[in-house]
Structure 1
């Protein structure tokens, strides 16, 4: 099932760590990306703008295939 605006998600570690985006920047991703709930605020093309509200962090663009619904 595809991720849509308003969904509660978290990042998939294996897909994010091996991505082009990871190779272009710091690969030490914070644990909250994988362990806390984020809300999809917007979607443009293959990317979702995710807000992680449980910790004071900036919103982040992640590819849709790097996200899964939070259970």
Structure 2
């Protein structure tokens, strides 16, 4: 959720596969899921993490300035 209505975020989730070193470094193009709703709007997505491996969240601020609040449920 953006702290200022001028902020425009993109949200990405990336994951790796345990035991597969080629998957340990990921970029936005290899995201498992992504969201981009526009300026001032909270981003939201659903993702079920695998039982093994690692998952990362990437937040890109496309416009504006301020802070973001990240929540998981």
What is the TM-score of this pair, normalised by structure 2? 0.27
Higher relative contact order by CA 8 Å / sep ≥ 6: 1 or 2?
2
More strand by share: 1
More helix by share: 1
